[in-house]
């Protein structure tokens, strides 16, 4: 089973766009399922992550907030797989 990566984001977030680019690069080197969730579509998620986006979770555990470095992402992905 592939690791599940969730990107919590919102419209108009430039850091979120950068995180998406980093995850796209990482997908060239490792396989994982990617789900993108707009926190503004869910009041509970907005309350939880409003000031922290983008947030990246690997298999349901928060791994990054604000920035994602490809090398560190791949290391955490391997460790949590």
Alpha carbon distance 15, 13 (integer Å)? 6
pLDDT for 81 equals 83
Q: How far is CA 5 from the centre of its chain?
A: 6
Write down the pTM of the prediction: 0.94
Domain boundaries, the chain: 4-79
In order along its 81 residues, the chain shows pLDDT tens digits of: 899 999 999 999 999 999 999 999 999 999 999 999 999 999 999 999 999 999 999 999 999 999 999 999 999 999 998
Does the domain spanning 4-79 belong to CATH 3.40.30.10? yes
């Amino acid at each position: 089973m592939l690791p599940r990566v969730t990107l919590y984001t919102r419209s108009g977030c430039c850091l979120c766009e950068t995180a998406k680019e980093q995850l796209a690069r990482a997908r060239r080197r490792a396989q994982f399922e990617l789900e993108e969730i707009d926190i503004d579509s869910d009041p509970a998620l907005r309350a939880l992550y409003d000031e922290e986006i983008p947030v990246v979770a690997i298999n349901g555990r928060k791994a990054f907030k604000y920035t994602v470095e490809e090398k560190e992402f791949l290391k955490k992905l391997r460790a949590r797989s």
